[in-house]
A and B are shown apart, each in its own frame.
Chain A
């Protein structure tokens, strides 16, 4: 397991491992302390001057000590300067790397978009071939395979251990994951090029954000609609737990642990915690689980494959309707302060709710969510956790929420992939490991970001929890 976390976003171009950030902060503190100590040495030195030593008849050893202190003062000043310079160098390196990475990604996106448009334009009749190779991979792995990650997995895939191991190795390769990320961004460009639009116009539309992931997903949704699949439905609350007292979560790991994981005994998809204080408005924490059923249509489960595609299309999917209904049931109004936590599809729902601007969302924390192209408002503190070897966040396209703090880690770097688990880097228990690393990480940047999304606790406050289960209502 790789324990190295990489932090980016936060409104800066910096991309740094936490080791770099911890080093930069520690060096800055060392520089500041060295200056303080130099001040203390100077004060000690000033208490007994050489003249006083002579007057008081103090032995020469003390005079030599004064010389040592003079040298120590000069050395400490120089040490402080060196430590400060090295701290700045580390930050500069992080920013330069971040800028280079941002430029490289920008160029990749531009070139792949233009190439996709050109291929589509030149070889419209080969759209199926290109679709199979370029569009098919992202769609297959970006939407469908990513959607196959947890819950109901195709028996035939599981039965074939070799195929499963090969597929797992492929979709857990960080390079492939990055390719998928770029690929899903270019589906539209290929189709637009194939439809006869000049590549230069396609590139312009792409740059202007008029075509992209959401319009391709909408296209997939429309095609599926024609085939009678993926139609959105209303949802209904079918069960809820009793409301019981609970201690509010204070760490990232505690939050990850509270995200609902669907089982037969616990079929709840949404958990809401309400904190009440005398004389104050209630505040809320919402925890949203991931995809439960990967079916595209003909499913009673709102957290299904159809919701995945419809969320990517920017539409109000059944999963989102379920969460909004749970919020209403819990008494959350447009003014209530609410913190949203989500895993996988739940992460996308959390980002979508924040993006609507209809609620007073104070923070968003997602694990493995396909949130890249969902515009979380800049005023909302967000921490987005993504594994570099997890294909699901890549299915959401490039991560454009650069104001958020983006924490990445290669979950299986240097570790054997487990057998029988599809896309292991997407599993919630792997994200819990990352959450634990985040909690103990020494980087000031990460701790500040975590502090911003952690509500304050009060002695006179009480918190209760209720979990909700929803089903689709078939027309």
Chain B
């Protein structure tokens, strides 16, 4: 049986993992909002716009990787807490 402090910690970690999964879903929605390559822009304005959009996509991918890593680590920590069951 899990000891009370461990149970509390595991619950807290499970909750955190769940919250992070929800955040990942919201990030997917933000991804859908970002424009793709432009159609109507021309010349230097097109390069500027496309560069700006490209940067946003890279930023978002980076945020996504960080949240996924945080979620994996949280799940890992929760499972380690589970293995302390004595």
Interface residues of A (CB under 8 A from B): 4, 17, 19-20, 22-23, 26-27, 29-30, 33-34, 36-37, 40-41, 44, 47-48, 56-59, 61-62, 64-66, 68-69, 71-72, 75-76, 78-79, 82-83, 85-86, 89-90, 93
User: Which of A19, A26, A69 is in CB contact (< 8 Å) with B33?
Assistant: A26
Q: What number of B residues sit within 8 Å (CB to CB) of A?
A: 45
A17–B49 CB distance below 8 A: no
Per the bound structure, the CA–CA distance linking A464 and B10 in Å amounts to 66
Give the shortest distance, in Å, between B50 (CB) and chain A (any CB).
Answer: 11
* Residue B85, interface by CB 8 Å: no
Contacts of B30 on A, CB cut-off 8 Å? Answer: 30, 33-34, 37
Extra pairs beyond A29-B33, A65-B73 (13, CB < 8 Å): A19-B39, A30-B33, A30-B56, A37-B23, A47-B12, A59-B77, A64-B73, A68-B73, A75-B62, A75-B66, A82-B55, A89-B49, A93-B45
Interface residues of B (CB under 8 A from A): 5-6, 8-9, 12-13, 15-16, 19-20, 22-23, 26-27, 29-30, 33-35, 38-41, 45, 48-49, 52-53, 55-56, 59-60, 62-63, 66-67, 69-71, 73-74, 76-77, 80-81
Contacts of A64 on B, CB cut-off 8 Å? Answer: 69, 73
A72–B66 CB distance below 8 A: yes
Where chain B touches its partner, the secondary structure class is helix
* Residue among B8, B41, B59, B63 with the highest chain A CB neighbour number at 10 A: B63
Closest residue of chain A to B59 (Cβ to Cβ) is: A79
B45–A62 CB distance below 8 A: no
In the complex where A20-B40, A37-B26 touch, is A62 in contact with B74 (Cβ < 8 A)?
Answer: yes
Contacts of B60 on A, CB cut-off 8 Å? Answer: 79
A79–B20 CB distance below 8 A: no
Contacts of B71 on A, CB cut-off 8 Å? Answer: 65
A17–B9 CB distance below 8 A: no
B16–A48 CB distance below 8 A: yes
A30–B81 CB distance below 8 A: no
Per the bound structure, the CA–CA distance linking A86 and B80 in Å amounts to 44
Contacts of A89 on B, CB cut-off 8 Å? Answer: 48-49, 52
Contacts of A20 on B, CB cut-off 8 Å? Answer: 40-41
A82–B77 CB distance below 8 A: no
Per the bound structure, the CA–CA distance linking A71 and B67 in Å amounts to 9
Contacts of A40 on B, CB cut-off 8 Å? Answer: 19, 22-23, 26
B23–A41 CB distance below 8 A: yes
B59–A75 CB distance below 8 A: yes
User: Which of A57, A65, A78 is in CB contact (< 8 Å) with B74?
Assistant: A65
Give the shortest distance, in Å, between B21 (CB) and chain A (any CB).
Answer: 11
B63–A75 CB distance below 8 A: yes
